[in-house]
Amino acid sequence: MQRRSYYLGLDVTKASGWNSGETIMKKTFLAIPHKLQNVFNKKEVKNMKMKRWMAAGMAAMMTMSLVACGSSGEEKKEEDSAGKGGKKQISLSVWNGNWAEDLENFEKDFNSKNEDIELDVQMQTGDYADWLGAKVASNDLPDIYILTPYAQVQSFAEAGRIMDLSEEGFTEKVYEEALNAGKGTDGKIYAYPANYEYLGVFYNKALFEEAGIETLPTTREEFEAACAKLEAAGIQPIAPTYKDSWTLKHLFSSLLTPFVQDDVPGFIESLNSGEGTFDVKGIDEVFDFLDIMKKYSGSNMMDQDSTSGFNALANGEAAMLLSGEFSLTTVASANPVQEIGVFAMPVSSDASLNKLSVDVGICYVVNAETEYPEECMRVLDYMSNPDEEGGYIQLVSQNPGDAPPAMPFDGGAKSLALSNYEEYVNAGNTVPWVYQQYTAGFDVTSGDIIQGYMSDVSDRETVIQELNKEYLNYIE
């Protein structure tokens, strides 16, 4: 029997059709990066386990239509592959977001410089998870598309759906650590990690100076002292975003990782085996830091979502925001004159443990069944060239809220935050996002659990118990 690969219940095994006896028809859930966050329905994920008895019937009902979709997809692919004027047409699909205009310009730039290829960038305006699931089901994936790092890349690689990129020169341009996000379980590189994203404490330089804070905090004690100085100066220290639990999954991940940074793979492996625990050495320091945040985030902190938090930093209503570089898009739009920097979340009393949380947000992959593998590699090679005037890297590095390329790059918007980020990266003073390596779906649940702590519904012991219990539920 063919070994089948599943990603959150979606059968991604490479095959011409679905086997109704093995396929489980469910909504496709993906760990979509925060920039384009669709709120993940934790209850629906849990209900998957309760609804397995429906799987065979649902699959049987869908088989005929899926096979039909597969046939029509192949016909359409044959029609489209010739492209315009006899050019080889390469489809590149991404979800629609802040980068839409940049990618459209990249398409024009690439096509103007390549006479034999017609690049067609396709923006998916609906739910990307649903779209990807439908494409897998109909065996009609585009030539190049994007996946989330680690688990999703590994799942598609094991299913034989994406090409091995290990021998391609463009993979040598990116940071060695970034390549881990695109590796399969066999250690080969299956995805091009285009951009880094970073999470930290974004601060208003002018408000820090007004409060007399001359040096950035590097320990939890220094952070608390800075908060006290800001409050004494009549400035709200922290802009809360806690109504949106997805912001808390980022926060908890950034606070936890310093204490497992010596062996993140080992920590994840222990959780996935059912033997691990979130009660790691240093977990009390995580809660101590959360307590400081609760103290200095204002009286109505649980009513404030990400939009209000981003705007509070932008408008000078709060001095700090614990978030990601994506928040700077809102800040720059609302108040471009604000000088905003970033420093690592100083969760520990040991400054050497506190590092900037940096990881790959998305990965580009090549369809294993593309008609034009060499041309696809040319697209990715061109995309990865930092010196190409008007190229991808220059286009997506123009604004403060852009995710910087996962490689050394001298261009782009030289904001204070980006300069701070580069200092951390160049010094090797970074840690990955542990939440991206959790078993699929648990990342969102972790945010919900931490939300309970921030709202004083749960105490420390309860939070640890819930984290351990829910992780076990996901791997069962």
Q: What is the pLDDT of residues 375-434, one digit of tens each?
A: 999 999 999 998 888 788 887 777 778 888 899 887 666 789 988 999 999 999 999 999
Q: Are residues 389 and 251 in the same domain?
A: no
Write down the pTM of the prediction. Answer: 0.81
CATH code for the domain in which residue 281 is found: 3.40.190.10
Whether the CB-CB separation of 203 and 239 falls below 8 Å is answered with: no
Split into its structural domains, the chain has a count of: 2
What single string gives the DSSP state of each residue in 228-285? HHHHHTT-EEE---TTSHHHHHHHHHHHHGGGTGGGHHHHHHHHHTT---S--TTHHH
Q: Are residues 80 and 166 in the same domain?
A: yes
Q: Is the pLDDT of residue 184 over 80?
A: yes
5: region left, alpha or beta (phi > 0 left; psi from -120 to 50 alpha): beta
Identify whether 420 is part of a domain: no
Whether the CB-CB separation of 53 and 457 falls below 8 Å is answered with: no
Q: Is the pLDDT of residue 455 over 90?
A: yes
pLDDT at 80: 52
Identify whether 422 is part of a domain: no
Identify whether 120 is part of a domain: yes
The residue to which tokens 């017609």 are assigned: 118
Q: Are residues 111 and 84 in the same domain?
A: yes
Banded model confidence at residue 12, pLDDT cuts 50, 70, 90: low
Q: Are residues 207 and 250 in the same domain?
A: yes
**Average pLDDT for 5-29:** 38
CA dist 368 and 164 (Å) reads: 8
For residue 198, report the phi and psi dihedrals to the nearest 5 degrees: -140, 145
Whether the CB-CB separation of 395 and 105 falls below 8 Å is answered with: yes
pLDDT at 100: 75
- For 25-34, 175-184, 395-404, 467-476, which range has the lowest pLDDT when averaged over its residues? 25-34
Q: Are residues 265 and 161 in the same domain?
A: no
Q: Are residues 58 and 112 in the same domain?
A: yes
**Tokens found for residue 241:** 């975003």
Q: Are residues 228 and 303 in the same domain?
A: yes
pLDDT at 81: 54
Q: Give per-residue pLDDT as tens, 209-264.
A: 999 999 999 999 999 999 999 999 999 999 999 999 999 999 999 999 999 999 99
**Average pLDDT for 187-200:** 96
Last residue of some domain: 404, 439, 463? 404
Under DSSP, is residue 454 helix (H, G, I), strand (E, B) or coil?
helix
pLDDT at 29: 37
Helices (H), 315-415: 327-334, 373-383, 392-395
Q: Are residues 106 and 182 in the same domain?
A: yes
pLDDT at 82: 56
CA dist 183 and 192 (Å) reads: 9
Q: Give per-residue pLDDT as tens, 56-74.
A: 233 333 322 332 333 344 4
Residue from 464, 448, 341 nearest 40 by CA: 448
Banded model confidence at residue 107, pLDDT cuts 50, 70, 90: very high
Q: Are residues 324 and 465 in the same domain?
A: yes
Q: Are residues 340 and 366 in the same domain?
A: no
Q: Are residues 191 and 202 in the same domain?
A: no
Identify whether 29 is part of a domain: yes
Under DSSP, is residue 81 helix (H, G, I), strand (E, B) or coil?
helix
Q: Are residues 155 and 257 in the same domain?
A: no
Range of the domain at 438: 197-359+431-475
**Average pLDDT for 277-299:** 98
Banded model confidence at residue 52, pLDDT cuts 50, 70, 90: very low
CA dist 461 and 272 (Å) reads: 21
Banded model confidence at residue 35, pLDDT cuts 50, 70, 90: very low
CA distances from 277 to 274, 405, 463 (A): 8, 34, 12
Identify whether 425 is part of a domain: no
Report which residue type is found at 232: A
Name the DSSP letter for residue 55: H
**Average pLDDT for 93-121:** 89
**Average pLDDT for 340-369:** 97
**Cα dihedral 95, 66, 63, 149 sign:** negative
